[in-house]
Structure 1
């Protein structure tokens, strides 16, 4: 897309007892309205990068599609901020839950409407046992993710997410919305038929129930975060057999659920 991810802005900064007029780097937001089979479906507020991946991942995580091949045509019209999608078939029940929703970039209740019915109905436990990582690999993957985002280093205004294996990052995405970053990863994987059961999600934000459910929909059995989980997220993680690691800092971490995927042998 031609939309910039960041812009320069003049700000007045107070520092060491004085006011300075300086230039700062600010992240941008871009609204994209999804027109699904001729009907306005939802508007996503996002960072203007990897929009096609975002839309595909969003539709899949909301249960509108289950496979990339269900999309007949996808056209992004940047000038009007619209994405025109035609599908071969559609889950009409899931569409009824949407009513021209605006999915903001913040972490409010705008994304919570599906948990009690739709998510509980569609998400299945993660049974993968063929992925196991060491404590040192947890630290290494978090460091790689944090170093991968120039936008975060320049602005501090975005969330980062990465799909990893034990050795490193497979794909990393950045967005002003934490859910968007995960949807971009999901969309990328659906487009390329990337196997996910042996992969790891590394994430910069809080592990909320919504984030945990999204990880389950993507199909990964381990999620690493530098932030905290919520109580509901941990209950869901137990039910869905997901290993959650939080407060992952330079020399410490907390393993909250399913520790059998973490290798303690070389501590």
Structure 2
């Protein structure tokens, strides 16, 4: 009976330990996305919409984290943190465009300039061999599992179909963001201002939803299937 109790206790301790070992890699893989993109974006909306801070001040304060992360990566790691630098660049563009006043149509088109900056940066990152959208794709596909993460790295290093799908994911998002920016810019100068005030958000929402669905079907699902097959082949 005591042996059974000991075995049960060991199992009870082992399960949380195993879960913790999975959560830790998952957090580590998601941390760059959270710190470099989610925190600055959420900070901007919280400061501007929640606390009524002006656009310039909200953009400036929300740039602190990506600016610090970019500087740290250059000084400490001798390389540029791509995602943090992207968010910082987008905020700088927003700051510059926010200085323009008096033309309501130009102010409506301001968001298109920020979106276009992000879209171009994402496409350039693909050409440079370091797709920026992988920061969100990898944690989703690997689910923070150490074995799946190791298989991911191997498949990427093989530079086959799996690596091409990784790049294609960023291409989908880069093209979608550029297209959305173009449509909103045209709308800002061809449609009534009152119409574009609400239509701009609809265009952005439709673009994001459509891109999630298309990239999910053509990239994410096949990558998850391939990764699962490779893991199963390892017997784990």
Pairwise TM-score range, normalised by the shorter structure: under 0.3
- TM-score for both structures, normalised by structure 1: 0.25
Q: Which protein has greater RCO, CA pairs closer than 8 Å, 6+ apart?
A: 2
Instruction: Give the greater-gyration-radius structure (CA).
Output: 2
Structure with bigger strand share is: 1
